[in-house]
A and B are shown apart, each in its own frame.
Chain A
């Protein structure tokens, strides 16, 4: 079974982002970049499937400028067998990322596509669903458990009402939620080895991708700040403060 895993390069989740003073975006100069944490979970799941003898080949793919190869090397160090870079000047929006990935899926013919449920930069939570639509495949989003057999997967999905269980035929697109697994760290020798491994480049033209118009970014602003209020010293004061605000009826 061949598993395709998508990897996005994003601002590291520990970084407190700053909005540029001119409102054109957030500051990225000198900021630590990492693999999107949800993609790490997707990759970890693929690695576990391989360790369990269910997956035979893991292909990691990333879209964007040359720098995304850094995250592809991380994927190779962790256990991906191959890495594919789809070069674009900037990361596309989900509608076009899905188009590029659909093109690649047509060429690679994976049995399963594992993706993070969302990227922690734009927080869109769209690409897996869009990719599944374009391929006409089933989707199981927000997965917290995946059980795989040859022809289908049973997936527990984290939904607002609790856990929803779906059975989907393969090939399918599954997006990973937080509790699917805890990703491992790469080992130093594997990181060194991954530096020398080849990264395949496949252009959108090679894949015959037709991009569609994206949304235009007009402005980025910091959110309105909540002010810290006051501290109370006792439960009685807390109750009094709530009563003052008319919050205890």
Chain B
């Protein structure tokens, strides 16, 4: 029977929703135990949040002053030290998991399986290659399986559990060659998290400017949605990088995705393949986004967006 270690992602205040989806992937292994490791400076809210995730056996709180910020060079040796007690080590395939887990796998001398989309067997997994234009099924070699989980492929678990919390102290050489300076984030304006939002409103190059993106923000606020953007919109400086949806940005699976002025480059489409309903508004009837959109509207977004806001205001949605 397998024993799975899930590496929690958190910012000291909240447990990132990707952790819950990673636990869901762990449960697909039909394991004997799923432990969630929270690396932190001290006990915090994410520890309690992890304990509530259904299916979690234990929460391991690993306290260390250097765990204040998630530095791969600091975390990887701790993950590797814990890993020896498990058959599988999983982390979300977010920039956090992608940074830390390959480093831990290398310390363990094993390969890493990136971006699990589906669990087929204890060491057989499906994952995307070529920006999601093909799916490969691979078998990890015997030994500990270390993998990141494509969180859009798994549904979050319920939060009615009450797993015990155990404090673990690890003996490891804490490197001093890496210093955390700061994070500059787009505050998000109190909007839902892009990677776990039920509805996402996204804008592309067609918006034309940073100011025009206000139309996207207005619709998002009307719908209680998160805001996303295409790579073209980020490259043009309309919005910060953390809003980018796509193969090299965030891969998301909202119930409803509304794309305005996004042509639908392959790498963007790779980021929204798992969305429930895709709505596309574009003035170019031949834009590739229409090939995947469930509902398409050919039109000028500068007319459609205000009209849509108006229509939603009228019927109180």
Contact = CB atoms under 8 A, between A and B. Distances in A.
Interface of A: 11, 16-17, 19, 26, 93-95, 98, 120-134, 136-142, 144, 154, 157-169, 172, 177-179, 212-223, 226, 228-239, 241-242, 245, 247-249
Interface residues of B, number: 88
B295 A229 contact: yes
Nearest to B117: A223
B307 A232 contact: no
Interface stretch (B25-33, B162-170, B308-316): B308-316
Contacts of B215: none
Contact of A123 (B95, B128, B235, B240): B128
Given A121-B129, A161-B242, A166-B178, A249 B184 contact: no
B267 to A, nearest CB: 9
Nearest to B289: A228
Nearest to A159: B95
Interface stretch (B37-45, B46-54, B108-116): B108-116
A129 B102 contact: yes
Contacts, number: 254
The 3 closest A-B pairs by CB, nearest first: A162-B185, A229-B294, A130-B106
A235 B183 contact: no
B295 to A, nearest CB: 5
Contacts of A166: 71, 178-181
B250 A160 contact: yes
Contacts of B100: 129
A127 B112 CA distance: 10
Residue among B106, B184, B279, B295 with the highest chain A CB neighbour number at 10 A: B106
Interface in B118-142: 124, 128-142
Given A123-B131, A160-B96, A222-B135, 13 more contacts: A17-B130, A123-B128, A128-B102, A140-B178, A159-B95, A164-B183, A214-B111, A216-B141, A218-B138, A223-B135, A229-B278, A229-B295, A232-B295
A242 to B, nearest CB: 7
B128 A215 contact: no
Nearest to B95: A159
B95 A142 contact: yes
Contacts of B135: 220-223
Interface string B84-116: 000000000011101111111111011111110
B133 A16 contact: yes
Contacts of A242: 256, 277, 279, 295
Contacts of B21: none
A249 B317 contact: yes
A3 B199 CA distance: 45
A214 B60 CA distance: 30
Given A94-B111, A158-B241, A221-B135, A239 B308 contact: yes
B110 A228 contact: no
Nearest to A99: B106
Interface string B2-21: 00000000010000000000
B138 A144 contact: no
Contact of B113 (A136, A172, A215): A215
Contacts of B66: none
Given A123-B247, A142-B95, A130 B102 contact: yes
A162 B184 contact: yes
Residue among A129, A136, A157, A172 with the highest chain B CB neighbour number at 10 A: A129
Contacts of A137: 177
Nearest to B224: A249
B220 to A, nearest CB: 14
Contacts of A125: 98, 102, 114
Contacts of B291: 226, 228
